[in-house]
């Protein structure tokens, strides 16, 4: 666009990820080979779509086919019906045994056996340190643990006052708000409201800036914003910004 769009430099990845991606050490090779599994056990949301299962007849290699549009969804904070914790719940529920809980998310015995607890611990500590989304869910965990409230909602804010690609990444309090008690969710249009208990999954709006960061924490370890309406097209300092 004739120089109107200037992409800022990417922030250097956390040292843990940089170390796991480089070199020929056994642990690093193992991580790169199984990186999708490691991302899935730290994802805040699940991928949902209409899966076509009729094509697997047992006469050919398994095929995963989705019809129509796939999207991401998120559930409640606390377990219901004695289910095992999944996705965002793993940041809140039984964190004393979190490493094993995350490894157990991978269903097959073969996959579970190759996941190394040392790598899971390193990734967990990394996200707790640098990811504002992880910090927000940890804050909710602390409120439950301290018994200060039995009913809270976690609001993941959609509106941005500044462009996070240029300015410093915000703290957890700037991407999420813990709401105690009842509140009218209608005033938070397109924000993500995660309730303590809920009987259904909530679909994440594709134009929410955290849409990708919630699903791919190992690609966006700092909880970076993705696409959203109103992104400034002129990013150079000293230029008048115009909105697209």
pLDDT, one tens digit per residue, over 60-96 is: 777 767 766 677 788 777 776 667 788 888 888 888 9
CA distance 39 to 218: 6
What pLDDT is recorded for position 129?
94
What pLDDT is recorded for position 134?
92
Encoded tokens for 204: 């994440």
What pLDDT is recorded for position 203?
77
Within 10 angstroms of residue 140's Cβ, the number of other Cβ atoms is 22
- Residues facing 153 on adjacent strands: 179, 195
Encoded tokens for 171: 């703290």
CA distance 122 to 24: 18
Residues 6+ apart with CB under 8 A from 17: 126, 218, 221
Residues 6+ apart with CB under 8 A from 1: 233
Q: Which stretches of the chain score pLDDT less than 70? A: 1, 6-8, 49, 51, 53, 64, 67-69, 80-82, 107-113, 147-150, 160-172, 181-190, 192, 195-201, 231-244
DSSP string, 223-236: ------TT-BS--S
pLDDT, one tens digit per residue, over 93-124 is: 888 999 988 888 876 566 666 778 899 999 99
Residue whose C-alpha is closest to residue 5's, from 179, 241, 235: 235
CA distance 176 to 158: 9
What pLDDT is recorded for position 215?
92
What pLDDT is recorded for position 244?
44
Within 10 angstroms of residue 189's Cβ, the number of other Cβ atoms is 9
What pLDDT is recorded for position 162?
60
What pLDDT is recorded for position 75?
75
Encoded tokens for 139: 């804050």
Torsion angles phi and psi, residue 74, rounded to 5 = -140, 145
First to last CA, the chain: 11
What pLDDT is recorded for position 31?
93
């Amino acid at each position: 666009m004739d120089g109107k769009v200037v992409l800022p430099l990417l922030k250097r990845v956390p040292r843990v990820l940089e170390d796991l991606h480089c070199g020929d050490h056994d642990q690093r090779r193992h991580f790169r080979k199984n990186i999708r599994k490691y991302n899935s056990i730290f994802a805040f949301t699940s991928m949902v779509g209409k899966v076509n299962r009729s094509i697997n007849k047992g006469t050919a290699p398994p095929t995963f086919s989705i019809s129509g549009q796939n999207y991401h969804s998120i559930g409640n904070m606390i377990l219901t019906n004695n289910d095992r914790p999944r996705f965002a719940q793993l940041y809140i529920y039984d964190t004393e045994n979190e490493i094993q809980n995350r490894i157990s998310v991978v269903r097959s015995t073969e996959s579970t056996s190759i996941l190394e607890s040392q790598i899971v611990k390193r990734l967990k500590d990394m996200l707790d340190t640098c990811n504002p989304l992880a910090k927000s869910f940890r804050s909710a965990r602390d409120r439950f643990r301290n018994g200060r409230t039995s009913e809270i909602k976690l609001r993941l804010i959609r509106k941005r006052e500044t462009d996070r690609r240029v300015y410093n990444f915000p703290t957890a309090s700037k991407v999420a708000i813990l709401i105690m008690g009842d509140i009218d969710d209608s005033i938070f249009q397109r924000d993500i409201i995660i309730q303590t208990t809920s009987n259904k999954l909530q679909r994440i709006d594709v134009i929410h800036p955290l849409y990708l960061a919630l699903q791919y924490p190992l690609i966006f370890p700092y909880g970076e914003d993705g696409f959203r309406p109103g992104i400034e097209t002129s990013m150079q300092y000293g230029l008048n910004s115009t909105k697209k």
